[in-house]
Amino acid sequence: AFEVLVIGGGPAGSAAAIYAARKGISTGIAAERFGGQVADTMGIENLISVPYTEGPKLVAAMEQHVNEYEVDIMNMQRAEKLIPAAQTGGLHEVKLANGGSLKARTVILSTGARWRQMGVPGEEEYRNKGVAYCPHCDGPLFKGKRVAVIGGGNSGVEAAIDLAGIVGHVTLIEFGEQMRADDVLQKKLRSLNNVKIITSGQTTEVVGKDGKVSGLNYTDRTTGEAHHVELEGVFVQIGLVPNTEWLKGDIELSQHGEIIVNDRNETSIPGVFAAGDATTVPYKQIVISMGEGSKAALSAFDFLIRNSAE
């Protein structure tokens, strides 16, 4: 059995494994795909002290750093069920999709999240070539250009306000008859003169030219009319889904499916901690996930010294 078992190998899980292993305790990390969302990212410009890197390069660096320590990396292993310890300080069990199971005195859940996609033609093809999901990450790449934000919930409207300060023009497209964001955000958005708001709009296709996004087609759901908007970027903001389906019923989740953690990364189960995009911690970013993973490992260590087996 491990003293610390990390589930998930993104920035949160890598940081947790490194911090745990540096305490000299037996550490394992099981991940469906080591690297997580970073593996799907092009340029990264906001990892402090690293002015520019690329996803695959950062994944290789994370793996190399984890390998500096005695960490048992179990890649391509999907966790399917968490069976909490019968009593505090006992062994938790994690069942894997391959039929095996792992036991550990503490578990750190860092299974991350995935952006909900529109599922329209062109979206996948032009991902990272104009189709983006993270305004904090990719907004500056569209300086002075025209972009659309898909989604009029809080994250879409926040993204549109944020982008309006950087890009030339923002078209916000909301599927429903009205935006769902908080009034104060909607008011702020309407006060901006380089933003156009389209409601009852269903995006039907992302169009490209020369390997880059050149526009977007949408249907006006009230009239059925088809429209085309010329632009250089599309920010999809229709939801970030935490990879926590497998934990439902076993651990406390928020209404959005995020693992509820306190400021010490403790979950509703003693000895089970969580970190990163899978949790209720706001602002889903690499640097934040790394910090949260480190905190979770330190909390796990603290738990172990207080609940050590005789």
Q: Which spans of this chain sit near ligand FAD (rule: CB under 6 A)?
A: 7-13, 30-34, 36-38, 40-41, 44, 46, 78-79, 110-113, 115, 133-134, 137, 243, 246, 276-278, 284-287, 289
Residue 41 or 106: the one with the smaller Cβ distance to ligand FAD is: 41
Q: Least distance to ligand FAD from the beta carbon of 297, Å?
A: 13
Q: Least distance to ligand FAD from the beta carbon of 9, Å?
A: 4
50 burial level (CB within 10 Å; 0-12, 13-18, 19+)? middle
- Classified as helix, coil or strand, 280 is coil
Number of H helices and number of E strands within the chain?
6, 19
Q: Least distance to ligand FAD from the beta carbon of 109, Å?
A: 9
Q: Least distance to ligand FAD from the beta carbon of 40, Å?
A: 5
Residue 27 or 243: the one with the smaller Cβ distance to ligand FAD is: 243
Residues contacting 135, CB < 8 A, separation 6+ = 158, 159, 162, 163, 235, 237
* CA-closest candidate to residue 203, choices 182, 231, 184: 231
Residue 110 or 299: the one with the smaller Cβ distance to ligand FAD is: 110
CA angle 156, 161, 164 (to 5 degrees): 120
Asked if 247 and 254 count as a contact pair (C-beta separation under 8 A), the reply is no
Give bridge partners of residue 240 from the DSSP assignment: 115
Q: Least distance to ligand FAD from the beta carbon of 225, Å?
A: 32
Q: Least distance to ligand FAD from the beta carbon of 146, Å?
A: 20
Q: Least distance to ligand FAD from the beta carbon of 253, Å?
A: 14
Q: Least distance to ligand FAD from the beta carbon of 15, Å?
A: 8
Cα–Cα distance measured from residue 158 to residue 174, given in angstroms and rounded to the nearest whole number: 13
Q: Which residue has its beta carbon closest to ligand FAD? A: 112
Residue 231 or 286: the one with the smaller Cβ distance to ligand FAD is: 286
Asked if 37 and 62 count as a contact pair (C-beta separation under 8 A), the reply is no
- Report CA dihedral (302, 257, 171, 190) to the nearest 10 degrees: -80
Residue 62 or 195: the one with the smaller Cβ distance to ligand FAD is: 62
CA angle 147, 153, 156 (to 5 degrees): 25
| CA neighbours closer than 13 Å in the CB half-sphere of residue 192 | 24
Residue 74 or 91: the one with the smaller Cβ distance to ligand FAD is: 74
Residue 265 or 289: the one with the smaller Cβ distance to ligand FAD is: 289
Residue 38 or 300: the one with the smaller Cβ distance to ligand FAD is: 38
